[in-house]
Each structure stands twice: as C-alpha cells, then as structure tokens.
Amino acid sequence: MSLIIATAVFLTGIVSGLVGGVTSGGGGFVSLPVLIFLGLSPDVAVATQRFGTLGWNTVSIFKFSKAKKIIYKYVVPLMIVSGIGGVVGANLLVNVDKTLLAKIIGLVIMALVPVVLWKKKLGIEPKTNGSSKMMFWGFMLYFIVSIYDGFLGVGGGILVAYLFVLVFGMTYNQANGTDKVAVLLNLVFAVLIFAYHGLINYRYGIVYFLGTSVGGYLGAHMAIKKGDKWVRAVFVAVAVIFGIKLVFFS
C-alpha cells in the first residue's frame, strides 16, 4: 500500500469516526465508497470497515463513560441482543440483496425525521421508561437492527439512535454512549466471522482503525461539549443526507 493510499484511508477513518462519534451512525457512508474506490471489493470493504469501526467505537466508550452518558441498566440485555444479531447478520453478508435493503433503511430513516422535528424536546430531556410491552418491542426492534448492523452497518447507528430516543426515552448523547457499549459484541462477532472467511484487508483495516480512533475521540468530545440540542441538529442533517443517499444513490 502506497503512502498516498495509506493517507487517504487514514483521513477517511478520521472523518468516519468523527461523524460516528457525534451521531452514532453515518460513518459507513463516508468510508465504504472510498474503500471501494481505493480498490477493495464491496464485501471486503464492508468487512474492513467493520474492523476499523472497533477503533472509534472503543475510544468513544471511554469518552461517554467519563461524561456519565451511558445508561448501564440497559447495557447487558442490549449487548446480548446485539451480539446475537451480529452473528446472524455477518453470516448474511453474501446472501442478501443489500441494495434493496439499503433503500428500505433509507426510507425508514427519512420517515422518522418529521417525528424528531415535531417533538422539540425529544432526545433533549430524558424520559421515564415506557410500559413493559413497549420495552419488549423496543428490544425486538433492536434485534432486527442489530442483524442489519452485523452485515452492513450503514445507517444502522442512526436507526438505533431513533430507537433509544423514541422507545427508551434517552437523550441523544445517552443514546450515542449506550449504543457504543451495546454494539461492541455485535462488532466483535461480526469481525471474527469476517476474519474467518478471509474478508478483512488488514493493511487497509489497521490504518483505518487508527484513523477512526482519532475521529471517534474528537466526535465524542464535540458531542458531549456541545450538548444534546447541537447533536440533535447534526443528527437530523445526517439522517436526511444519508437517507437520500441510501434511497436514490445506493
């Protein structure tokens, strides 16, 4: 790998980690096209991107934990659900029509934007837990998103943020921090499966990992410092842009 390509991969990692650190999702939209442009096949690009995501995810956990933005009472059940979903999802990588699914995810992301805009305090102030029935469906929906997150991940973090804010009553920063811990098993299992099938390009992956670690730290720092209102504004912008990208340009 030449110095120019290594620099491009590293910078892509920084931008991806920055976006992911602020919004809990969207980094894949930046990195996947670049990794494919730089010579990786789509499946290898996805696997390598998931490997690198471990960087900004782990660093972000440290920042959000220090700021007390992680709701630990949900962490264990969410990690279990996410881990199982990751195993299922990673094994579906070569068997699913990813283009069609990406368009569906994009439509869902855009459809939920008006809800966020309409409810001004949504995600700004934490709310009390909903009914046990709502919690049950919340975990079921999280499992479905985790399956998608396990084999592709593009836009998955945005859907999780919606879910945590709408169903679990978290603020955006709480949703962001909690998701970082909850998705860790999903990422680890997915990466192990991709590694077993020889899909990860480690030369690109390690450089990308280092870049996302830097970006993830900066993104989490900005999100915590600026507060939930600022994160909400960025989140809506990212959701609209990437929703359109998935529906019309995937």
CA distance 86 to 150: 4
- Answer whether residue 215 shows pLDDT above 60: yes
CA distance 28 to 57: 13
Percentage of the chain with pLDDT > 70? 86
Exposure b/e, 93-125, CB count within 10 A at least 16 = b: beeeebeebbbebbebbbebbeebeeeeebbbe
* Helix axis angle, 156-166 to 98-118, nearest 10°: 40
- Answer whether residue 42 shows pLDDT above 70: yes
What the block records as the tokens of 95 is 């068997």
What the block records as the tokens of 73 is 């009472």
110-139 pLDDT per residue, tens: 777 776 677 667 677 777 666 677 788 888
pTM recorded for the entire structure: 0.79
CA distance 152 to 68: 29
pLDDT average, residue stretch 81-88: 82
Q: Are 232 and 116 in contact (CB under 8 A)?
A: yes
Looking at residue 207, its pLDDT comes to 96
Q: Are 17 and 27 in contact (CB under 8 A)?
A: yes
Looking at residue 250, its pLDDT comes to 63
Q: CA 147, 148, 151 angle in degrees (round to 5)?
A: 90
Q: CA 8, 59, 156 angle in degrees (round to 5)?
A: 75
